[in-house]
Copies of this chain bind each other. A is one copy, B any other.
Amino acid sequence: MADMIGKALRLLSLLGSYPDGVGISELSRAAGYPVSTTHRLLGSLAAEGFVRNDPKSKRYALGLRLFELGQQVSHARGFAGVALPVMEQVSAHTGEPTLMAVLDGRDQLYVHAVEGRQQVQIRGEPGRRGPLHCTSMGKCLVAFAPEEQRLRLVAELELTPMGPRSITGRAAFAAEIELVRERGYAVADEEHVPGIRAVGVPVCGPDGAALAALSTAAPAYRMSVADLTEFVPALRTAARELAAVLPRRQAVSGRSSSRSSRPGGP
């Protein structure tokens, strides 16, 4: 908590909240660091291209090296390439948006989103995080996590109510996860966002653990839970295809995640 690297990395995460850049003093206030410290940290980050400093406006913003490394993670984890076409097939079938997410820590992280044909669309921006306990993909990721991790998540996840029908009881949540494990798919019926229903399935690796999850989301007025459930076979087919191409991943313990790739340019 007092280590320099942690401070620098937290500064990076904080910088993400300022898409148009931010001055040093505002940033240091937001971070709670002295200005001179912030200045020095940003200098080191900028020297490696992780932060960009516009010399004119004196504002700082995230640097392109982060984009570069993010793409490498994307490749290494199989997010790039084959995943999108498979998802597009699902959306072609359902006419609704198809989403993909992975487990990271105590959140799900949206990795891909394919739009549907309809006007009213659900937004699951890649790179954003979402809760595990009240989303269809989140429940799949918990239910099909390696046993140790699953038990810990079921026991410890904060069950903050987010939609009109969020599950908030520990026992009810444990029962729901069991149900998901049995049926092999999960439903979130206005549990996350009011007016939105979703159905999700896990993308399971050879050991049965979830590598990712896929879901179809739609406005509640257009789709009943029964309607959505009919998409499960299509989602399962896509999940099987994805399982073949995603790198098999080990159980993750405490925090982060991943892999990455990088060419050595001639």
Q: Which residues of A contact B (CB under 8 A)?
A: 3-6, 8-10, 12-13, 15-21, 41, 44-57, 61-77, 79-80, 102, 104-105, 109, 111, 125-131, 160, 162, 247, 250-266
How far is the CB of A7 from the nearest CB of chain B, in Å? 9
How far is the CB of A128 from the nearest CB of chain B, in Å? 6
How far is the CB of A43 from the nearest CB of chain B, in Å? 9
Q: In the assembled complex, which residues on chain B have CB atoms less than 8 Å from the CB atom of A77?
A: 67
Q: In the assembled complex, which residues on chain B have CB atoms less than 8 Å from the CB atom of A105?
A: 49
How far is the CB of A10 from the nearest CB of chain B, in Å? 7
With contacts A44-B3, A49-B257, A255-B46 known, is A67 near B127, CB below 8 A? yes
How far is the CB of A163 from the nearest CB of chain B, in Å? 10
**How many copies of this chain are found per oligomer?**
2
Contact B64 A20 (CB under 8 A): no
Contact B19 A69 (CB under 8 A): no
Contact B19 A260 (CB under 8 A): yes
When chains A and B are docked, how far (Å) is the Cα of A20 from the Cα of B247? 9
Contact A259 B127 (CB under 8 A): no
Q: In the assembled complex, which residues on chain B have CB atoms less than 8 Å from the CB atom of A129?
A: 68, 265
With contacts A66-B69, A67-B127, A253-B55 known, is A4 near B4, CB below 8 A? yes
Which residue from chain B places its CB closest to the CB of A3 in the assembled complex? Answer: B44
Which residue from chain B places its CB closest to the CB of A49 in the assembled complex? Answer: B256
With contacts A5-B41, A16-B69 known, is A62 near B260, CB below 8 A? yes
